[in-house]
Amino acid sequence: MILTEDEIINAVCIQTASRKQIRPTDVKVELAWDEETGFTAEVWAGGRNQYLIEANLIEAIILYLNSEYGIRAFNDEVRLELEDEIIAVVTQ
């Protein structure tokens, strides 16, 4: 299964909104990839911003897979890749 960049952003929005008790539409996410830091995201929510590392992104994706698709995935089954956009590849 492959998740698009938009689905990864949705996953981060839903997880952040749940943690901060706000609406997912009140969360803004920008994904990035850099040779030194790998996959990251900058998240703006509740008037504050924070940076997420790849492990945080994978955690959000795992929760998203479970809630949206009923798929129970584990960390080693999800990997991020850079194609034309950032995607998540899920193997089971």
User: Structure pTM?
Assistant: 0.95
The pLDDT of residue 61: 98
88 and 78 Cβ atoms separated by less than 8 Å: yes
Q: Which domain holds residue 39?
A: 2-90
The pLDDT of residue 16: 96
**Interatomic CA distance for residues 47 and 68, integer angstroms:** 27
**Interatomic CA distance for residues 32 and 1, integer angstroms:** 21
pLDDT tens digits, one per residue of 19-31: 999 999 999 999 9
pLDDT band at 53 (very low <50, low <70, confident <90, very high): very high
Total domains present in the chain: 1
pLDDT tens digits, one per residue of 58-90: 999 999 999 999 999 999 999 999 999 999 999
Residue 46 has pLDDT above 90, yes or no: no
